[in-house]
Amino acid sequence: MVPFDSSQPDWTLPDLAGLIDHALLAPTLTAADYDRGCDLAAAYQVASVCVSPHKIADVARRLRGTGVKVGTVIGFPHGLHASAIKAAEARTALADGAVELDMVVNVSRIKTGDWDYVSRDIAAVTAAAREAGAKTKVIFETGHLTDPEKIKLCELCGVAGADWVKTSTGFGPGGATDHDLNLMRQHAPPGVQVKASGGIKTLDRLLEVRALGVTRAGMSGTAAVLGEACDRLGLPRRWSEPATDGAY
């Protein structure tokens, strides 16, 4: 853990909100759940809302004019879609209004050592995003991988032009550990940022990953975490309704 003095914050509420990709990815979410999640995101001005592909257009309409970006997932949650399908899914998502794509790598091909395939798979999505002026985050699902595999992926993501490397889907084993975040920050090229996801459920944990160099954090407990931040700063909470389960 990285020590910090929480009695003397070096952050503001907008600082923390700007780290958060609010996750709305649970398969049981209703239309009302998505609407509430968007309203929560807008109230706190988080970086983005990450939604399942079928809801992109609806969420884009809901968030229009709020300044909150719309993100989605590609090849989710296992990453085993054919590369052509991932690319098509990316193009559809972009056309529907997504501006950030969180794609899952093909762990089976990684375990096989088929790095050429893995490289092409990542490039298929990053190229589609780049053509549209969108951003790409590459999800490793670190709980399945060895350290050498994670390091190799960081290198490939740099070559492919990914904007972030990301720890987990939130649906696999493990989550965002200090070890993995340090490893990814050390081995990803300077122009590639690091996103933490999985297990970030408290304000202190968000501050810890921030101190490790994380610039985005995927979470569903946004209301609780930012509510705690408001309390610590002596500010009124912007959202009082219980948060919906977004899965992370």
Known catalytic residues?
102, 166, 195
In angstroms, the CA 116 to CA 177 distance is 28
In sequence order, the β-bridge partners of residue 55 are: none
The neighbour count for residue 100, using CB atoms within 10 Å, is: 23
**Pair type for strands 69-74 and 48-51:** parallel
247: which 2 tokens?
């899965």
- Please name the residues in contact with 110: beta carbons below 8 A apart, sequence gap of 6 or more: 118, 145, 149, 153
The alpha carbon of 5 is separated from its chain's Cα centroid by a whole number of angstroms, namely 26
Residue pointed to by tokens 């944990």: 205
